[in-house]
Amino acid sequence: MQPDQIATDAIDIWTWSLDADTGQLASFSELLSDDETARSARFIHDRDRRFFIVGRGRLREILATYGERIDPCELTFDYNGHGKPRIGERHGLGLHFNLSHSADLAVLAVSLHYELGVDIEEKKALQEDVAAHFFSAKERASLQEVPVDRYLDHFYRCWTRKEAFVKAHGAGLSLPLDAFDVTFGEEDAPRLERLEGDPEAPVTWSLFHMQTPPNFAGAVAAQTFGNTARLRYR
């Protein structure tokens, strides 16, 4: 680890386009492991395959900059039981990271100390009442109070904060989405307000609003154990 690479209280945020020309795509392909190459070949749509290659390739390039003499193509990942990747133990990097992608954008959060989740979503008009399926009773009630012209912004703030928390927690879809509440009002600081069965969770976990292009929404969740942390845009 290069000590100046990451401040202890900082969560680094990296954003990049998943669009790449043929030459860049070939370079990123060379960085992938055999299992990643096999996964890329299973995508039905060519665009999804290209985006996956650029996402993983750039992820490897960035993570390698946090170590000394680490070759991006030599990085190995371990996966928890729900598919959450972490850097292989053997690298001794002791870094946490999480990746998200939406449309043609990827975002990566990196921390020296804290378990992380990140989510970015392109804001698209909703075809159905998605909140009824995914949000908690308290979140649904709050959303009903929101004026129609601001509904979508509130909806995506809530969605990305919930998704970032699920991803930080690492339990994937086994964590019921109505078992926790997040804040998402314009005036409210991002916060986990409740997690069923864990009264300490609002202190243990921090939520952050993440800057994105205007047609996207983004959030980061980190297990900060009450410590102060901040996002640092790279």
Ligand X SMILES: CC(C)(COP(=O)(O)OP(=O)(O)OC[C@H]1O[C@@H](n2cnc3c(N)ncnc32)[C@H](O)[C@@H]1OP(=O)(O)O)[C@@H](O)C(=O)NCCC(=O)NCCS
Question: Closest CB to ligand X among 27 and 39?
Answer: 39
Q: Does 159 bind ligand X (CB under 6 A)?
A: yes
Among 98, 95, 105, CA closest to 54 = 105
Which of 24, 43, 82, 86: binder of ligand X (CB under 6 A)?
Answer: 82
Question: Closest CB to ligand X among 100 and 206?
Answer: 100
State the minimum distance, in angstroms, from the CB of residue 161 to ligand X.
Answer: 8
Task: Report whether 159 contacts 89 (CB < 8 A).
Answer: no
Contact region with ligand X (CB under 6 A), list: 63-71, 95-103, 178-186, 219-227: 95-103
Question: Closest CB to ligand X among 2 and 127?
Answer: 127
Beta strands 96-102; 230-233: pairing state: unpaired
Contact region with ligand X (CB under 6 A), list: 24-32, 142-150, 159-167, 212-220: 159-167
Enumerate the H helices of 147-200 as residue ranges. Answer: 151-169
Instruction: Please work out the total of residues on this chain that contact ligand X, with binding judged by CB under 6 A.
Output: 22
Q: Does 32 bind ligand X (CB under 6 A)?
A: no
Percent helix, strand, coil in the chain, to 5, is 40, 25, 40
Enumerate the H helices of the chain as residue ranges. Answer: 22-31, 34-41, 46-64, 130-134, 137-144, 151-169, 201-204
Which of 6, 32, 62, 100: binder of ligand X (CB under 6 A)?
Answer: 100
For tokens 């609003």, the residue is 209
Q: Does 177 bind ligand X (CB under 6 A)?
A: yes
